[in-house]
Amino acid sequence: MRETARATDLLDWYDRHARDLPWRVGPRARAAGMRPDPYRVWLSEIMLQQTTVPAVKPYFEAFTARWPTVSDLAAAADADVMAAWAGLGYYARARNLLKCARAVAEEHGGVFPDSYEGLLGLPGIGPYTAGAIAAIAFDLPATVVDGNVERVMARLHDEHTPLPQAKPVLTDMAAALTPQQRPGDYAQAVMDLGATICSPRNPACGLCPWRPSCAAWEAGTAAELPKKAPKKRKPTRLGIAYLVRRVDGAWLLERRPDKGLLGGMLGWPGSEWNEAPGEAPPIRAEWKTLPGEARHTFTHFHLRLTVKTALVPMDRPATRGAFIELAEFSPSDLPTVMRKAYDLARGS
């Protein structure tokens, strides 16, 4: 009974304080019968993986303006989608996005499956995303556990087992709370609570609908939860990026292989990324090494890129990549690390 009362308290709070998000059908509209578009829910959930709401908003608006339905996205050219995704990071998501859109268009008649299992069978949709879409788009009582929800559960129950070991127990706690009534609103309500009230630092317990039954608030331990196993230090890799300009202004770029880091994205030809990369110039030229480095942090390592530039004549053949005419080159199509190398060259 206690869990039912908690869910009701949270839903009451959500009815008053739900965030206004471009992909969301708010509680009032939902109560009036409006249903979320599964395409928009899916797109937002993929974009939000590893990325914050403010970073996602402009990408979401641009994608849905350009490709208003999943069938429109499925029909898009790969290069257009990869370019539109540039800057959002974790590029495997963009490749899977296209695969998934095409699977929905070709195998499901352009309609997302309306069950957890059906969603889980689509490319790029794991248990978390399937649960989130099932709950938010189809109002199914799926348990949705992301980092926000883990933090809230750890605090609500004053659970001190460190993550990731604590995941199963936190998931069980979240499952016990998930109501049969309004599960879609509930899933979004817990996410909102974690994002706006039960935040990582300085939780605003005074405004929290769960404070009367929160064990961590009672114990004064909220700020130190959830506990986390110490992280391994990220190694640093080095690399060289070659920014080649032809005398007519064209840039030498290459599309990275589909598999692997930045797969399918445009980038500058370069060396391997490791502890001691060897030279790998893509063309014969007189190279100028720029002062400074382009630095970027990936999930598993830090990268420090040395940037070399060269100007080459019209008839000089490249051993890698292809020249892209100046009129067709848009720096915003580059992934962030490649954009940083470009910015360094432009500033020098």
Note the residues at the interface with ligand SF4 (CB under 6 A).
152, 155-156, 197-198, 203, 205, 208, 210-211, 214, 216-217, 222
d(CA 11, CA 177): 12
CB 303 within 8 A of CB 271: no
Residue with the two structure tokens 């509209």: 29
Q: How far is the CB of 218 from ligand SF4 (least distance, A)?
A: 9
User: Quick one: which H or E segment has residue 107?
Assistant: helix 92-107
* 149 vs 154: CA distance, rounded Å: 8
Task: Yes or no: say if 103 and 123 are a contact pair by the CB < 8 Å rule.
Answer: yes
Q: Is 224 a catalytic residue?
A: no
Closer residue to ligand SF4 in complex, CB, 211/339 = 211
The strand pair at 294-297 and 302-312 is best described as antiparallel
Output 10 or 76, the one with its CB closest to ligand SF4.
10
Which of residues 8 and 51 has its CB atom nearest to ligand SF4 in the complex?
8
CB of 195 to ligand SF4, least distance (A): 11
CB of 24 to ligand SF4, least distance (A): 21
Q: How far is the CB of 156 from ligand SF4 (least distance, A)?
A: 5
Instruction: Give CA–CA dist 26/36, Å, rounded.
Output: 9
Residue 109 or 220: the one with the smaller Cβ distance to ligand SF4 is: 220
Q: Is the dihedral of CA 78, 82, 85, 90 positive or negative?
A: positive
In the complex, minimum distance from the CB of residue 166 to ligand SF4, in angstroms, rounded to a whole number:
16
Helix (H, G, I), strand (E, B) or coil at 124: coil
Task: Specify whether the CB–CB gap between 120 and 128 falls below 8 A.
Answer: no
Closest by alpha carbon to 73, among 107, 91, 49, 97? 97
The pair of three-digit structure tokens given for residue 304, joined into one six-digit string: 């420090």
3-state SS, residue 84: helix
| 24 vs 155 by CB, closer to ligand SF4 | 155
Of these residues, 3, 45, 107, 279, which one is catalytic? 45
Residues designated as active site: 45
